[in-house]
Amino acid sequence: MRLPKVVKLVEMGPRDGLQNEPATISAAVKIALIEQLADAGLKAIEVGAFVSPRWVPQMADTAEVLAGLKKRPGLTYPVLVPNMKGFEAALAAQVEEIAIFGAASEAFSQRNINCSIAESLERFAPVAAAAKDKGIRVRGYISCVLGCPYEGNIPPRAVARVAAALFKLGCYEISLGDTIGVGTPGKAQAMSDAVAEHVPRERLAVHFHDTYGQALANIYACLERGIAVVDSSVAGLGGCPYAKGATGNVATEDVCYMLQGLGIATGVDLERLAAAGRFICQHLGKRPSSRVALVLAARATEAAAGK
């Protein structure tokens, strides 16, 4: 199968990238980050989550963030919701898209959201129905598609079952997440092929963590299978909580650089994207984990010094 000519990048930094940061990031900084990402050309930016502030305090200001963003044609600001309470909060904030999340691992589902896979799908059914009634699009996430910190290897058929169930609920797109970053290209292709027997490839996205340095290779392998939507996080924000000290989300800068090298259009300005990454990393007091971002930062410093 040929590589796609165009790939859509779904930016996860403001939500998945920041949600576990210990230092509180103000709504103003989050808004500034999101606006910079939009200026860079990203058309889908997950901006927050309507979850319990007790469990995820970093997302407590999601409604404030949404209220402060500019509306732009063709740009979506999805938010994560875990249940009907979260959906009602999202509805009050006038969102146009939500995301629901399940797992391919029973053990992970129990430890992450305190219910079985079947129970999680039952919980999401009224959310998906209510969203459809209000004209709100629903995206679905599946965690642990290539491995689980508690169960180990996850069979592709298990991922396919959950994907088929989410698609039946009305999710317009299913994002396949390698939560602990243990996948390799062959396994990524086998998993995506199994899912594609139940969900059209044009309705699939991939979400790889770079824990073992395999994320770009896995993305390429799935591009070869016709998947043309990739989740990523600016500056590689978002560590892997199940592998201490390891990197988490694949960096948007690195994905963008690879796609540009392949002649695949993304509509993203890499220099502006890297600048957005530097902006948020300065507020976090850390360096980007993206190698591309580090090179571009060094060049920016040299250019400034030469003026």
- As annotated, the active-site residues are 240
Give me the CATH number covering residue 279. Answer: 3.20.20.70
Residue at 1 is within a domain = no
Residue at 2 is within a domain = no
CA distance 135 to 90: 13
Token code pair at residue 176: 């396949």
Q: Total domain count for the chain? A: 1
Inter-CA distances, 148 with 106, 155, 179, 207, 262, Å: 9, 11, 8, 15, 32
Number of helices and strands (H, E) in the chain? Answer: 11, 9
Residue at 289 is within a domain = yes
295 Rama class: left (phi>0) / alpha (psi -120 to 50) / beta: alpha
Token code pair at residue 298: 């060094």
Q: Domain containing 146: what range?
A: 8-305
* pLDDT digit string (tens) for the chain, length 307 residues: 789 999 999 999 999 999 989 889 999 999 999 999 999 999 999 999 999 999 899 999 999 999 999 999 999 999 999 999 999 999 999 999 999 999 999 999 988 788 899 999 999 999 999 999 999 999 999 999 999 999 999 999 999 999 999 999 999 999 999 999 999 999 999 999 999 999 999 999 999 999 999 999 999 999 999 999 999 999 999 976 655 555 689 999 999 999 999 999 999 999 999 999 999 999 999 999 999 999 999 988 887 777 6
Residue at 124 is within a domain = yes
Residue at 253 is within a domain = yes
Residue at 184 is within a domain = yes
Segment 96-120, tens digit of pLDDT: 999 999 999 999 998 878 889 999 9
Token code pair at residue 146: 């290539």
Residue at 3 is within a domain = no
